[in-house]
Amino acid sequence: MGAFNGLGMHLGNLARLSDADSRSISPENLTGARNQGGMATEGTGAEPARDLGQGWKISPSVRIEPGETFELADIDGPGAIQQIWMTATGAWRFSILRIYWDGQEHPSVECPVGDFFAAGWGRYAPVNSLAVCVNPGSAFNCYWEMPFGKHCRMTFTNINTEPMVLYYQINYTLTEVPEDTAYFHAQFRRVNPLPYKEVYTILDGARGRGHYVGTYMAWGVNNRGWWGEGEIKFYIDGDEWPTICGTGTEDYFCGSYNFENRETHQYEEFSTAYAGLPQIIRPDGVYDSQTRFGMYRWHIMDPVRFRENLEVTIQALGWRSGRRYLPLQDDIASVAYWYQTLPTALFPPLPDKDSLEII
């Protein structure tokens, strides 16, 4: 990436000085402008601050009405988003995060907010990874670096029938961006149920030069027995057969042997820097009737490079009689994360509200 320019930092360069400018957008500074924070005189905190006045937490959050799209960020570059923190009320599947780079008409990130932050089932579960953290009580944190050359626009749409409240902070830098820097992308998909003998597509239609950096999956099992025999496959630059072919679903997510604790004979949650199974929703004998899983795998140390295009699929396989594989018809949702050159190819239409709903 050339000389140090103030984009991402790590322990090895933390002491280095930079000419980059630090900025932050929140309800207390909607534009991120310098010397403009905490100046609100109206907001969701105005009533409890009525005895204190300006500067005393007047606007800690925003209220987003049904059908409303709220503009989170409108930033002229060059620069980079460095960290995003959010906590949102309401149904997370009905809150849609979008990010547009350099004035493009269609988004490079389009995803329900929960799934984007590895919390696809609408319930809190702690996530402790390098790229994404979910902290008590429902604090979403993203550390994917998102450089941009000219412009960043970020929106949040409430497709629910009820208003919701959003607390957020977007920390970014204004700095030079090298010419060989790629743009962050994230795409959500969901199929429920997966048709019999069909593979699930995590990503298809990525066009340009780039590298694949992560997968999150919210997987709801509709059959009894083990469900994770399926292989993930990466088709690079027009492959007829995949160049990268995994050996099993739990293997791809860096687990083994059914994610099973050999002493308790139960599925076991885990959350690490690069991979995890942080959420397991178990049947409760009443309304939680099927087991559901949330899994992530970050390719931070092993990005999958492509020069022209990339397709990523995964099989849904269990077992049936005679020790034969059983193609499954499960409820599967995913987020693919990658970096690539612009322009961004148009994404498939986001599922409608009923097709997004967790049922």
Euclidean distance between the first and the last CA atom of the chain, given in angstroms as a whole number? 45
Residue showing tokens 């849609």: 96
State pLDDT tens for residues 345-355.
999 999 999 99
Q: What stretches in the chain show pLDDT beneath 50?
A: 1-3
Q: How many other C-beta atoms are found inside a 10 Å radius of the C-beta of residue 328?
A: 24
Query: Which numeric CATH code is attached to 184-346?
Result: 2.60.120.1390
Q: Going by C-beta distance under 8 Å and a sequence separation of 6 or more, which residues neighbour residue 24?
A: 32, 37, 169, 170, 171, 172
Per the omega criterion (within 30 degrees of 0), is the bond before 193 cis? yes
**Ranges of H-type helices in the chain:** 113-116, 249-252, 353-356
Residue 3 confidence (pLDDT): 44
Q: According to the model, what pLDDT value does residue 1 have?
A: 38
Instruction: Write down the pLDDT at residue 6.
Output: 74
* Half-sphere exposure of residue 86: CA atoms within 13 angstroms, side-chain side: 27
pLDDT 10s digits, 301-330 = 999 999 999 999 999 999 999 999 999 999
Nearest alpha-carbon partner for 108 in 159, 157, 148, 68: 148
pLDDT at 8: 78
pLDDT at 84: 98
Domain 21-181 has CATH 1.10.287.130: no
Buried b (16+ CB within 10 A) or exposed e, 254-265: bbeebbeeeeee
Cα–Cα distance measured from residue 279 to residue 294, given in angstroms and rounded to the nearest whole number: 5
Q: Please answer whether residues 210 and 312 qualify as being in contact, where contact means their C-beta atoms are separated by less than 8 angstroms.
A: no
* pLDDT number for residue 4: 52
Domain pair 21-181 / 184-346, same fold: yes
Place of tokens 């749409």: 157
CA atoms within 13 A on the CB side of 4: 12
What are 337's two structure tokens?
């994360």
Classify residue 249 by burial, with Cβ atoms within 10 Å: 0-12, 13-18, 19+. buried
Q: Which of 188, 43, 208 is nearest to 120 (CA)?
A: 188
Q: Are 72 and 156 in contact (CB under 8 A)?
A: yes
* Domain ranges within the chain, ordered by starting residue: 21-181, 184-346
